[in-house]
Amino acid sequence: MSARFSWRRPSPAQIDSFLRRQVGTPFSYGPQGLTRVDAGQPLPEGVRRRWKRDEGRIKLGQGELAWHAARAALERWEMFRQGWVEVCWPSANLREGTLVAILARRMGLWSLSATRIVYTYDEVGELQRFGFAYGTLPDHIERGEERFGVEWNRATGHVRFEIEAWSRPQHPLAWLAYPLVRHWQQAFARGAREAMLRAVEDPA
């Protein structure tokens, strides 16, 4: 299996059919939890040497109102509101096992990739943290794991968004166009930070 490509945007029915086919499929990488390494677990040697890491943080605002707006934006998948990439569907619940498809358009070509939420977290304390990570399935152009999270430092009042991903190509097209793929991955990370900032500054 591989990511689905098309010169036409897939219809909602085609996307739903694509998602139904993912039920029960395994992750396309291992071990799961690559984005949990901040807890002290060392990365596998092969991942550290051959996979690429993307990460970034941005301050979204200050105080409790910004925190609630940031949480709500993450739950709406606002980080995907970038114009060229979207999640199917934004109503998907943030819980372990939820399937979502990532729909992207680049150079006139549409791609549809399958992911499943690996874990979620919701931590209360001096540093409040909320977020989730999803991992790739065989029907994905890449293989790896990506985490999205927001945090509120109650001591400073700062509310931040963070993104972290470990990935390597899976589909032959991703290997052939690897420099372009890396450029798009980095553009997505920047766009995700900007989209979350917009959502918190102008909450729905």
- Rounding to the nearest 10 degrees, give the CA dihedral for residues 110, 116, 117, 119: -140
Give the pLDDT confidence score for residue 28 in this predicted structure.
93
What pTM does this model have? 0.90
**Digit-coded pLDDT (tens) for 143-180:** 999 999 999 999 999 999 999 998 887 777 766 777 77
**Confidence at 103, pLDDT banded by 50, 70, 90:** very high
Q: What share of the chain has pLDDT > 70, as a percent? A: 91
Mean pLDDT along residues 62-70: 96
Write the single-letter amino acid at 61: G
Give the pLDDT confidence score for residue 1 in this predicted structure.
47
Q: Which CATH architecture has domain 4-39+52-201?
A: 2-Layer Sandwich (3.30)
pLDDT of 7 strictly over 70: yes
**Digit-coded pLDDT (tens) for 10-45:** 999 999 999 999 999 999 998 898 888 555 566 666
Give the pLDDT confidence score for residue 175 in this predicted structure.
66
- Report domain extents, the chain: 4-39+52-201
